[in-house]
Each structure stands twice: as structure tokens, then as C-alpha cells.
Amino acid sequence: MSESPEFVSEAQEIIETFSRQLLEIEGQLRDGDDYDPDLLNGAFRSVHTLKGLSSLSGVNEIVDLSHKLENTLDALRLGKLPLNQSALDLLFESVDLFGRLLAGVVEPDGGQPVEVDSFLAKLAKLAEAPEEQAEDALSWLDDSILGVLTEYEEHRLRENVRLGRAIYRIHASFDLLAIDVGIEALKAKLKNYGEVITYLPSADLAADDRIELGILMGSKHSIPELADGIAEEGVAVEALATGERFVIPAPSEAPEPLPEPEPEPAPTTSSSGTRVEAIDDDDFPDDEDDGSSSGSAPDSGGSASAPAGGDSGGASSAGGDGRGGDRGGSVSSEPPMDDGGDQVSLKSLSQTVRVDLRRLDHLMNLVGELALVHANLTNIGDRMQRTQLANHIGGLSSTSGEHLREFQDQLRVMNRRLSLLQQGILEVRMVPLGQVFDKLARVVRKLGRESQKDIRLAISGAETELDKLIVEELSDPLMHMIRNAIDHGIELPAERVAVGKPRAGKISLSAFQKGNRVVIELTDDGRGMDWRIIRDKAVKRGFVSAEESSDITPGQAINLIFTPGFSTRDKATELSGRGVGMDVVKTNISRLSGMIDVASEPGRGSRFRITLPVTLAIIQALVIETSGQTFCIPLNSVLESIMVQSDEIQTIEGHEVVSVRGRTLPLIHLSKVFELGEENPIRDPRSNYDRLYVVVVGLAQHRVGLVVDELLGQQDVVIKPIGRALRQVPGIAGATELGDNRTVLLLDVATLVGEAVGGVEAAVGSGGGREGIGVFSNHDVGREKEHGGWGDHGF
């Protein structure tokens, strides 16, 4: 096997598309609509592409599976097999199967071989399913039409009839030079009213520069409605009524002025034994009438028909007119739709490039280094300016001063370009959240079926973009939360009905951008969580003391589910069980510098809200100094920087706090947390300094003040990984460079805040003790005193 990463990612993408198409079909079927046949065609094409791709790469298992699947899909789209729930289930199963096969490709040694045979057997069984088709459903239709339809078109026609739609034929004439545009425009309008089944050839041409087409479509709408919708000059609508072939004359399209009621194009009954051309022939005068009455330079009579083929062949555009030409001459029965579809997909493929994320990282680094070079150049410029100044005083010429100014101007230009470049690279890394949401939709479906619950997933904001890295890291936490919502949140259908809720549970997943952050909300309308139960559990587990629990607010109580160790042990109890592993979710989110919180109402449902930075690669940072060492703090977790007089600091049980606008803010000395030596000995703050800088940082609803020596300003910084070994250092998120080639550490505010309010032991996970509650209690002045501190944890 010669599978490359490109193959895997491309195949994965196809499979995802395939699954999305299936989901959509299922959704349409469930909503009682009949499904959009284009989706099924799309699914067929996806599998077909996958087959081609994997045979190129020599992945035979996938070739085999996709080949069989392709056959089934073909039968489905031709109507040889009914597309029902069981068929869909089977198709969904194949998505999983493909995924596992692909995983096997990535890690040939991992796991046991994927068992495909049983699936293939089911597929074969499906294919044997009896075919019921009333053969004469179309007996009323003229052979001349039936004769030119492809198998697929015929199926669609039958399907439309079966759905009780009336079959129409739209006559339109197009300018040869712009026929592709014209057909597309018309098709787009018609799609709103029904399904375009095929294009029928028309016999002869009105003029050399125009071509006639008949469009066969099925629609539930009446002729006037259709005509209204098309609203295009020179177009005639004709209903092919049931029964014997009887053509109702169409009041063909009335242009704006609506000059006169359409002249009846009555004679259409002709049916002249030959072929479709005949019909068009008959209709033709009708069209002409139209045109002239509305004054739109119509085709000048049915004179020259012969040159049709030649003309259209000569015209540049692809599918439409070529087909028209063919038909004009000989009536061939090409399947037109397929051609068009393939062309479209080819085009879109060529517009994307798959790039390894590491290459982008590399580019990013280079840009970062360029910025450093730029900073150095600026320095040199400044130095030159100083010498220049000195020389000037010494009476030297000022031409070099000109040069210097130019040089500095160019530097400024370079700076702007650099930031554009940086931004451009960042944008390349952005991917829509839809990538994750699609996967989640599949999970919802699967879990819903497994748990016998009826679940609707509403997705909004899938187009919201986030850094690829974040999107990848997000899928697991989100999956976990959705699993919780389904397992524990949404009730069984009967239960829901009993409490007066709709049978189907609703989970909605929405994303939107808010400033430079993205908010993702996961809401369910399930049974929700009772904060009292959670509070009591927390007390029982020793996370909260009894007296603390007495004045805990509901919001704080519910957020206790994020406490490490809270949930897992509660899994089996009658507590709604929500929060299984929520601490892991929280850890993952905060590793992305994100925050998560939850609100819930018993009986009404829960809402989780995740807030994330748009990108991790470049962030705005506040540069600070403490004990002679420089650090960066991600600006998105900084709420404000304040200056505090030392006499405002009070201690509560030895922990320093300060009141800011009526709220008590626990203080952390960075130098102390990091044991940075004692340039500012801070045993007793009041005696040693009068003022200090405090950077107020927040994580979710928790606020902590970081005491630092200096604020050095804000800067865009490129975050660099610090390697596996140092990544484990709690409180450090990464490194970056400042202009002077210094490497500077970036603080992990989430962890620091967690430590501050939870104590080191809690952060390390060796049992938080009662300090745990501190995490949730910053709103409350009284509680700070008991556990606001970081101080008693052995620094």
C-alpha cells in the first residue's frame, strides 16, 4: 500500500461529505419532505470519487467497499431500490466502516482487522429487496418523451408522478452565445417550484442565434404560479396532463407590461408521430407570439432549422447547448445532469490546496523572525539618527539625513506589510467550525438511536472560523458534552411527552464570533441539573464545607461539576450524572486558553458556553516584568491593569486581598509563585513598597490579581512551542520572542488562577480539599478569606 497522508485526509474529507449528504437526506425524509435527488446523486458521486481515489492509492479494502456501495447507491438513485430508513441505516454504517478502514490505513498494525463481510452481506440483502413499481404509471406519457429519457431521468419522472406532482414542460429559447447562463438562471428559478427532470430537445430553431429547449419538470404548483415564478419573456409553460397525451396550452410568460392575455398556443396536440421535435414545432409559433407581443426581439420565424447542430456546436459553452445541438439533429439521449455535476465538482476541487499545518507554522515562524529583523533595523535606524544629529551639530552636510528619513519611511512600510503577511498566514489557518459540527451531527444521530431517544440537532454558525489547531482540539470535549447531553440530559420520548415537552429532544449547537473570541454554545432542552443536588454531592465529597454550601449561589453550585474528581465517582448515582469527566473537558478547553461555564434549570435543560480565542498562533500579550524577569500574559485573559496602594492591601488569614470596586480580589505575587528570588522581598507588603501594579486576570467568573513589578506594554506575539519536556510546567503556556532576541515565557493564566484559588494540591489533582470551592466563589467577599489564598501551599 502506498498511502500518503494526502490520501488519508482527502478520503476523510470525502467520507465526511458523504455522511453529511446522508444526514441531510435523512433530515428531509424525516421532515416528511421527499428528499432532494441531488443529494443522493452527490452521495453517489462521493463514493465514486472515493473508489477512484483509493484504487489510485491501492487501498483495496476501501475500493471494494466503495464499489459495492456505489452499486447500491446507483440502484437507489435510479429508484430500483426504495430509499427508506433501513437503507439509510446501512449507508450510515458504511460511514463508520470507511472510517475504521481508513484508521487501519494510517496504523496498519493497530487494532484488529475491520470486519467488512457482514456489512457486505447486508448490502447484498438490501439489493434483493423486491422491487415494486407500477410499470404503467407513465403510460399516459408520450413515447416520444419517454424514448429520450435516460433510466435515471425516467425514474425521477416516475417519482414525481408518484408524489402527485404535475409534469410540466417549459419551453424557452436562449441566446446561443449566452445559453449556459440562461439555462442556469432558469434552472435556478425552476428549482424553487419543483424538480427539473431533464432537457428535451427542440426541433428547429427560430433563428441562427437562438436555440429552443424544452425543460421537463415536476411541480406541485399550478401553471400561473409557475409562470409567475419564471417571469421571463418568451418562456412557455405547458402541463403534460395525465391520461392520454393532452397538452394544455400554457399562458406563456408574461413580461412586466403584460400586454395581453396570452394567445392560446392551442394546436400543440399535434403529437406528430415522430418525436419530441414535433411538439416543439407546434409550440413554436406560440413562443414567437409571445416574443413579438412583448417586443423582445424574438426569433424570426421557424425558418432555418438545419444549422442548429452546427451552430450550437460552435458556441463556446459546454453542456447545455452542445446537448441542444445534438438533439436538434438526431435526438441522442445523453444524461445531461451528470455531466454538469461532475464539472462543478472538478472545478471546486482545483481551488483548494491541502497544506500541512507544520508548513504554516514554519511560515509563521519566518514571519516572526522577519519581525525581529525589522526591529533590529529600526534600532539601527535610531542609532544612525543619533549620530546624524551629532554630525549635524558638528556642521556636516544633511544629505545623509535625507537618506535616513527615506530608510525609516521604508521601514514603516515594511512594518505594515509584515503585519499584513502575518494576518494573511493566520487566515490560512482558519477553518470553519462546521468541520467539527458535521462529525458531531453523526455522533448525535448514532447516540440518539442507541439510546432510543428522538433527538433533533440544530446547528448554527457552522461557518464561524477558528484556528485549525483549536478546531481539532475541540472535537473531543464537544463530543463528550454532547454525549452527556444525550445520555443524561434528554429524557426518553415517553417521559418527555408526560411532562408536556415535544417528543423529540432538541440539542442546539451554535457558534458565533464576539470580538476576537468565538463563543460556542451547546444547549439542550432535557431535564437539566438541579444545583441543590450538585451542591449536596459536593459537600458529601468534601469539595465544599457545609457552612460554605449554605451561601453558595445556584450558578456557582452548578459549576462544581467541573471540579476534578467530582463526577466520575457520581456516575452510578441517581444524580443526573451530568458532568462525567467534565473536569477533563474543562482542562482541555483551558489548554486552548478558553473558558467554559454552564447554566441549567431543572426540567428545562442546560446550556454550556465555551469561549475561545480565535487563534493560538499569534496573540496579543501584555508584557510584564517581575523580579527582573520578563513574562507575557495573554491579553485575552487580562481584564484590566490597576495600581494599588500598599495600604489598600488587607490580609485575610494571611492571604493578601484588595478591594476593587467593591469586590474582593485575591492577589498573587508572580515572583513568589514562581520562586523568582527576592528582588522585592515581600514578606510584608505594607512596609516594603507603597504602590504595586496588579494585573487583573479572569478565567470564567474567577478573578485574581497578579502582582508584578513593571508593566512593559502590549505586543502581538507569535507563540512558539517550548517542547514536550517543558510543556508540563504548570503556569507556563509557551514561549515567544520579543524584539531584542530575548525568549520570553508566556503565562498560562488558567492554571495560575486555578492554583491561586484551588491551591497547588488541587491543581495537581491529589485531592483538592475544601479549597476547591474557592474556584467558584469569587463573587462572594466572605468566602475569600477561607480559601482565596495561594500562600499556604508551601512555596
Using CB under 8 A as the criterion, which residues of the chain lie in contact with other proteins when the complex forms?
Answer: 365-366, 368-369, 584, 587-588, 591, 629, 673-676, 720-732, 735, 737, 741-745, 751, 760, 763-766, 794
Judged by CB, which is closer to other proteins: 310, or 765?
765
> From the CB of 676, what's the least distance to other proteins, in Å?
7
Residues ≥6 apart with Cβ < 8 Å to 253:
227, 230, 231, 232, 233, 234, 235, 236, 237, 290
Q: Residue 637 in contact with residue 698, Cβ under 8 Å?
A: yes
Nearer to other proteins (CB atom), residue 178 or residue 726:
726
* Nearest-approach distance from CB 759 to other proteins, in angstroms: 12
Choose between 414 and 764: whose C-beta lies nearer to other proteins: 764
CB of 583 to other proteins, least distance (A): 10
DSSP bridge partners of 742: 738
Partners of 496 in the β-ladder: none
- The residue (of 314 and 765) whose beta carbon lies closer to other proteins is 765
For residues 265 and 242, the answer to whether their CB atoms sit within 8 Å is: no
Toward other proteins, which CB reaches closer, 67 or 591? 591
Residue 574 makes CB contacts below 8 A (sequence gap 6+) with none
Identity of the residue numbered 40: L
Output DSSP code: residue 156.
H
Nearest approach in angstroms of CB 451 to other proteins is: 28
φ and ψ at residue 609, rounded to 5 degrees? -130, 125
Classified as helix, coil or strand, 457 is strand
CB-wise, 366 or 458, nearer to other proteins?
366
- Pick the closest to residue 325 from 299, 301, 307 (CA basis): 307
Contact 635, 619 (CB under 8 A): yes
**190 close to 170: Cβ distance less than 8 angstroms:** yes
The nearest distance, CB 720 to other proteins, in angstroms, is 4
- 468, three cell numbers: 485549525
Burial class (CB in 10 A: 0-12, 13-18, 19+), 668: buried
- Which residue's CB is nearer to other proteins, number 459 or number 764? 764
Q: How far apart are CB 767 and other proteins at their closest, in Å? A: 11
Alpha-carbon span 613 to 699, nearest angstrom: 13
Q: How far is the CB of 529 from other proteins (least distance, A)?
A: 25
CB of 586 to other proteins, least distance (A): 11
Nearer residue to other proteins within complex by CB, 298 or 768: 768
For other proteins, the closer CB: 122 or 480: 480
Q: In 10 A of CB 390, how many CB atoms?
A: 10
Q: How far is CA 598 from the centre of its chain?
A: 23
In which order are the strands placed within the sheet that holds 595-601? 455-460, 505-514, 517-524, 605-613, 595-601
CB 152 within 8 A of CB 198: no
Helix, strand, coil fractions of the chain, as percent rounded to 5: 50, 20, 30
Smallest gap from residue 575 Cβ to other proteins (A)? 25
CB of 794 to other proteins, least distance (A): 8
Is the distance from CB of 627 to CB of 671 less than 8 angstroms?
A: yes
Tell me how far, at minimum, the Cβ of 486 lies from other proteins, in Å.
25
Identify which of 154, 124, 125, 151 has the alpha carbon closest to the alpha carbon of residue 137. 154
Nearer CB in complex with other proteins: 365/408: 365
The CA distance from 46 to 41, in Å, is 9
Strand ranges of the sheet holding 710-718, from the earlier edge strand across to the other edge: 710-718, 618-626, 629-634, 742-747, 732-738
Largest CA distance in the chain: 110
How many helices and strands, by DSSP H and E, does the chain display? 27, 23
> Could you tell me if residue 85 is left (phi over 0), alpha (psi between -120 and 50 degrees) or otherwise beta?
alpha
Distances (CA, A) of 574 to 300, 421, 490, 495: 82, 55, 15, 16
Closer by beta carbon to other proteins, 120 or else 712: 712
Q: Which is nearer to other proteins, 368 or 448 (CB)?
A: 368
Q: At its nearest, how many Å lie between other proteins and the CB of residue 221? A: 58
Nearer to other proteins, 85 or 741 (CB): 741
Q: Least separation, in Å, of the C-beta of 752 and other proteins?
A: 11
Minimum CB distance to other proteins, residue 471 (Å): 19
CB of 104 vs other proteins, minimal distance in Å: 24
CB nearer other proteins, residue 4 or residue 728: 728
In whole angstroms, give the CA distance from residue 290 to residue 11. Answer: 52
Q: Which is nearer to other proteins, 444 or 744 (CB)?
A: 744
Q: 676 vs 682, which CB is nearer to other proteins?
A: 676
For residue 207 the three cell numbers come to 433563428
In whole angstroms, the minimum distance from the beta carbon of 713 to other proteins comes to: 18
Side-chain-side CA neighbours of residue 349 (13 Å) = 11
Beta-sheet pairing, 732-738 with 710-718: unpaired
